[in-house]
Structure 1
Amino acid sequence: MERELALEIVRVTELGALAAARWTGRGDKMAADDAATTAIRTMFDSVSIDGTVVIGEGEMDEAPMLYIGERVGNRRGPAVDIAVDPLEGTEVVASGLHNAQSIIAVADRGTLLHAPDIYMEKLACGPELAGKLSLDDDHETTVRRASALTGKALSDLTVLVLDRKRHEALIATLRRLGVRIRLIGHGDVAGAIAAALPDSNVDLYMGSGGAPEGVLAAAALRCLGGEIQGRLLPENAVDLQRCLSMGITHPAHILTMEDMAGTGDVIFAATGIASGEFLSGVRQLSKDRAETHSVIMRASSRTIRYLRTIHYLPGKVIPQGTSESVDMAAG
């Protein structure tokens, strides 16, 4: 994949973020998601790829666009897999909270895992711990090993966890060990990425979250030199059948980062909608201008680029979350 593709992809996430941001605090998560999805799908038409959506808004009968298997791009570029979450944090935007973003990962065709929309147990870390921990170990063993390998006392180790009832036992274990816990209400992908960012002060990301989000996080962590391991958690026969239909015959086995995001080149781009772990949200600077903050990463170079963009809004058509589109500057 050409390096110029990274800038094309971030233009797509920027438009998704601008569209979703109009719905901040308005209590309508479906409209916010629809706006971001429509914006991203429209913008993909100008991107020089022959893309197939592998992680998206659902199966064809569940989503009108960005459905799994949909072809995107102008077909004049490389054949690639697309993993996309137009709006990670629908509740965040609807409620005017923190930690929402538009996210896209691009990889060579046939390399991104087609993950079912079920829970996945996850363990993510940065380069220092990559390849040295195992999801098969219990939580205490993992934390103690991370402490020994980093040379940090348990009390200096920081673990990021989604604040969910299902994590009560994990949180109790971490508190008994005396580690620092950072609980986040939303942002499963951003949380996993934080464990590998050099300035995040996060050592581990632990707990369960969405399997599609695990694939997006794996793409980013490949670019960062970190690691994520996952294990699918089917809760019933329907979940198990979804795994089997997607070619996952042994859901209980550990999924490596390579299982989820391949070994070739990967491009990861995200634009903040509501400020979170590592991206600032969309800011309306004036009637005519808005600012976005994005990150662009590539596995082949492991370069992390942060992009601050000032958008001139007159004439820029932003999907509004309905069948109509409006000029953002006029709203």
Structure 2
Amino acid sequence: MNTNYGMEIVRATEIAALTAGRMQGLGDHDAILNTTRSAIIKTLNRIHIDGAVVNDRFHDREDIVNLPERIGQGGEKTDVMAIALEGYHNAADGRNNVTSFAAIAREGSIQSVPNLSMYKIVVGPEVGNVIDINQPPLVNVKRTARALRKYTENVTVCILNQARHYQLIREVRSCGARIKLIDEGEISGCLAAITGEKADIYMGYGFAPEGTMVAAALSCLGGYFEGKIFYENDRDKALAAEHGIKDFDKTFRAQDLIRSKEVAFAATGVTDGEFLEGVRFTSNGAVTSSFVARAETHTYRRLETRHFFDYKPVF
């Protein structure tokens, strides 16, 4: 891409986070999601791009504000992904690990995926490709421990706290590894594993569209990702085929989901989470914590931005 769009899309995630932050804990799940999605659409539409919006998990929901098929004021053709509010139930309930994400890449480089479950394993660059999604969790935890030169008991595994993961949790516990359970926010959990700050490995089921956002981040930061889409029936396979997926046993890696190094990634915390701190409101504005990364140069920035509403209201 001719422009580094990282600082453009982080403005969109900041506005989304500020919008969600004002509705945090009010208990209305749909309202906070719809309002935040409207905010990120408005901000992304200010960018001088001709962006094709891909992998919106809510595109077929009549009760949820739809992202447009194309976004921006015109210009360079790109692919755009936006998850205005990951963990919106947590946001509405006033709980942690809520984040806004966006990614932009060269046109045609982001793999379109169906809105189905995907089993993922994510590790940081120190671990590399020693993991194998087709191996039992016990094997992958022990391989991670060896790569990090840690005792297995000192490895932290991040897992979504869902009923489908009870067997996975039992297997991880059987080898003595530490577990960090999160209710929502799988992308933040994966980023924690990539950076190694709060986890060493992420594993478990989540959504396939979220997998592409993780792959965008990983393209910028390094690390290793494997994912397999879970198909319950022939209808799911037919849906995948509409997205150009023909190998239903395929193990997706980051380069399969993001087929270019021309990609930028941005995230802003809404509530304190595994990867970023949340919005802090002040007497005359707010403070946001964001992250911006670019794959072409493997550079990233952590931003603390102070917003003064008295000078330029953002709402």
Normalising TM by the smaller chain, what interval? over 0.9
Distance in 2 of aligned mates of 1:144 and 1:171: 15
Matched, 1:285 2:282: yes
Task: Tell me the distance in 1 between the aligned counterparts of 2:273 and 2:314.
Answer: 26
CA distance 1:130–1:260, shift in 2 (3 Å): same
Q: Does the CA-based 8 Å contact 2:34-2:65 persist in structure 1? A: no
| Aligned residue runs from structure 1 range 226-245, under 5 A | 226-245=223-242
Paired residues of 2:97 and 2:273 also in contact (CA < 8 A): yes
**Equivalent position of 1:323 in the other structure:** none
Give the Å deviation of 1:235: 2.0
Structure 1 residue 18: Cα displacement = 1.1
Shift of 1:117: 1.3
Aligned equivalents of 1:259 and 1:30: distance in 2? 33
Structure 1: state its 5+ residue gaps: 319-331
- Alpha-carbon contact 1:57-1:66 (below 8 Å) kept: no
Cα offset, 1:49, TM superposition: 1.4
Q: Which of 159, 164, 168 is the matching residue for 2:162?
A: 164
Q: Which residue of 1 aligns with 2:123?
A: 125
Which shows bigger deviation, 150-159 or 176-185? 150-159
CA change 1:201–1:173 in 2 (3 A) is same
Corresponding position of 1:52: 52
Counting aligned pairs with the same residue, the percent is 36
Q: Does the alignment pair 1:91 with 2:89?
A: yes
Runs of 4+ in 1 over 3 A off after TM superposition: 57-65
Partner of 2:271: 274
Conserved 8 A contact 2:106-2:260: no
Q: SS of 1:55's equivalent?
A: coil
Deviation per CA, 1:65-97, whole angstroms, max 9, x where unpaired? 314xx1111112x21111111110110111000
**Where does residue 247 of structure 2 map in the other structure?**
250
Question: How far did residue 27 of structure 1 move?
Answer: 0.7
RMSD between aligned residues: 1.6
Letter of the structure 2 residue corresponding to residue 195 of structure 1: A
Residue 66 (structure 1) aligns with: 67
Deviates more, 1:58-67 or 1:305-314: 58-67
Partner Cα separation in structure 2 for residue 25 and residue 226 of structure 1: 34
Letter in 1 for 2:173: R
Per-residue CA deviation, residues 94-144 of structure 1 (Å, 9 max, x unaligned), is 100001111001111111121111110001000012222211111122122
Aligned to 2:12: 12
Aligned-partner SS, 1:280:
coil
User: Does the CA-based 8 Å contact 2:189-2:274 persist in structure 1?
Assistant: yes
Secondary structure of 2:18's aligned partner: helix
Partner of 1:35: 35
Q: Could you say if the C-alpha distance between residues 33 and 64 of structure 1 is closer, same or farther in structure 2, counting changes exceeding 3 Å?
A: closer
Q: CA deviation at 1:237?
A: 3.3
CA distance in 2, matches of 1:3, 1:160: 35
Cα offset for 1:242? 1.5
Structure 2 segments unaligned to the other structure (5+ residues): none
Larger CA deviation: 264-273 vs 308-317: 308-317
Q: C-alpha displacement at 1:152, in angstroms?
A: 1.4
**How far does residue 150 in structure 1 lie from its aligned partner after superposition?**
2.3
1:140-198 per-position Cα deviation (integer Å, ceiling 9, x unaligned): 22122222222211111111111111111111111110011111111110111111115
Contact 1:215 1:261 in 2 (8 A): yes
What is the CA-CA distance between 1:251 and the residue it aligns to?
A: 2.5
Shift of 1:64: 4.7
Equivalent in 290, 294, 301 of residue 297 of structure 2:
301
- 1:223 aligns to what? 220
What are the equivalent positions in structure 2 for 1:131-170 lying under 5 Å apart? 131-170=129-168
Aligned pair in 2 of structure 1 residues 166, 90: CA closer, same or farther (>3 Å)? same
Name the SS of the counterpart of 2:27 in structure 1.
coil
Kindly tell me: are residues 3 and 197 of structure 1, through their superposed partners in 2, closer, same or farther at Cα, counting changes over 3 Å?
farther
1:102–1:272: 8 Å Cα contact kept in structure 2?
yes
d(CA) in 2 for partners of 1:104 and 1:31?
20
Shift of 1:60: 6.2
8 Å CA contact 1:268–1:296 kept in 2: the answer is yes
SS for the counterpart of 2:129 is coil
SS for the counterpart of 1:149 is helix
Structure 1 residues 312 and 57 mapped into 2: Cα distance closer, same or farther (>3 Å)?
Answer: farther
